[in-house]
Structure 1
């Protein structure tokens, strides 16, 4: 491993650890709590004042809407898929499987953090639940919302796009992160810091060792050689 890359990994790890500790160590999470509270009540009050906004929040937090985020990621991936040769598509399949496995493992590791944190809709009294305001069975509460697993999956996708496809796909991935992680925050199913601290800190520490070393390439190459199919390389 090049020294520059190792330094980059260590800096990303330090950033992830400091980000988490800046939230975890201070009493009542320090300045982060004021940010979380302001964001939550800002959206929560708007849902009462504007029924159309409440409907938007409810629809985007309906379980079936998760398929739209998958569709958005799939369409971005398809854009590159259509421009690849058959062997290139085989490699993209290997990258996609690696990405899914990475997301599952990091999500499980993230929930090993010593944090038990109920969502703001369960933490505060006298709050408005979008499911009650609209009658739509939206996800607007969680007994353990830290770190945000939905947001983590989206961030991992964006990072994989950067690692294997470049900066512009990464920026498109970031747009997807914002568009599809924000509804959980608007509904109060997650605190802002569940994603901005929890998800991000896990990704900074875990994904840096995976994507900035030969580790992810090793799995991609193994899958490329091992998966069945017409264009399987000859031994």
Structure 2
């Protein structure tokens, strides 16, 4: 992509800013807090209504499950990698490096937002915590849950899949995003808006300037030129 798609970038940026300020400006976050509270309490009640749900939520918020999310992302990436010849595979590996680099930078930019709050499990009283109900190592709280770091990383991955592999890869990446973000909300370690306002608005503002401009391709070409070749591609 050699051109800068300014109209689309500006539309996505406008959506991102509108989404964020619709939450940030109203006193007490307006109706967004009602949505957050209702979602949290719905799942929180289910922790004592269903032991199977309690176990599911505990397991899916264990650190091992984070590894499964990486495996899922890697599997989709590998599906396209194995179709390439040596040159294409090298560029895909470099694309992965660029994606990681951009994710780190965008995540740091996201934390410049002057907003921070605790997770709903630390905000509300008289609620259930998985760590109190089940003796199992799991993450059910956060002292700084906004924006959702894990959600932002998954959204950046999703954006790269759309940019470089098309709509089918994007659809699968969206499913991966939803599967691995829902447990954070179900256990109460994140508010709904930590992800679908915080993470999403940051992605809408920052990611288009990487993927809809020559930035990502330029970084890939730069690294392709200067990183050492492990072997020569077949002619």
* Secondary structure at 1:67 match in 2: helix
Alignment of 1:120-159 (within 5 A): 120-159=120-159
- Which aligned pairs between 1:107-122 and structure 2 lie closer than 5 A? 107-122=107-122
1:55 counterpart = 2:55: yes
In 1, Cα distance between the equivalents of 2:71 and 2:182? 17
Deviations 1:33-79 (A, max 9, x none): 11111110110000111011000000000112100000000000010
| Equivalent residue runs for 1:62-101 within 5 Å | 62-101=62-101
Aligned to 1:105: 105
Structure 1 position 2, deviation (Å): 5.2
CA distance in 1, matches of 2:190, 2:68: 19
Q: Provide the rounded CA distance (Å) in 2 between the counterparts of 1:40 and 1:221.
A: 45
TM-score with structure 1 length normalisation?
0.96
Q: CA deviation at 1:137?
A: 1.8
Q: CA deviation at 1:230?
A: 3.3
- Structure number with the bigger relative contact order (C-alpha 8 A, sep ≥ 6) is 2
Note the 1:200-211 alignment, pairs <5 A.
Answer: 200-211=200-211
1:84-103, Cα deviation, whole Å (9 max, x unpaired) = 00000000011000010111
- For structure 2, list consecutive stretches of 5 or more residues without a partner in the other structure: none
Query: Which runs of 5 or more residues in structure 1 are unaligned?
Result: none
For residues 159-198 of structure 1, what are the structure 2 equivalents within 5 Å?
159-198=159-198
Indicate the RMSD between aligned Cα atoms, in angstroms.
1.2
CA distance in 2, matches of 1:97, 1:28: 39
What does residue 19 of structure 1 align with? 19
> What is the Cα deviation at residue 232 of structure 1?
6.1
Q: Residues 155 and 128 of structure 1: is their aligned pair in 2 closer, same or farther, counting only changes over 3 Å?
A: same
Q: Residues 6, 231 of structure 1: CA spacing in aligned structure 2 closer, same or farther, 3 A cutoff?
A: farther
Listed one character per residue, the Cα deviations across residues 121-155 of structure 1 (whole Å, up to 9, x for unaligned) are 00100111112111112111011100000011111
1:10 aligns with 2:10: yes
2:222 is matched with which residue?
Answer: 222
* Corresponding residue SS for 1:138: coil
What TM-score, normalized to structure 2?
0.96
Secondary structure of the 1:40 match is: helix
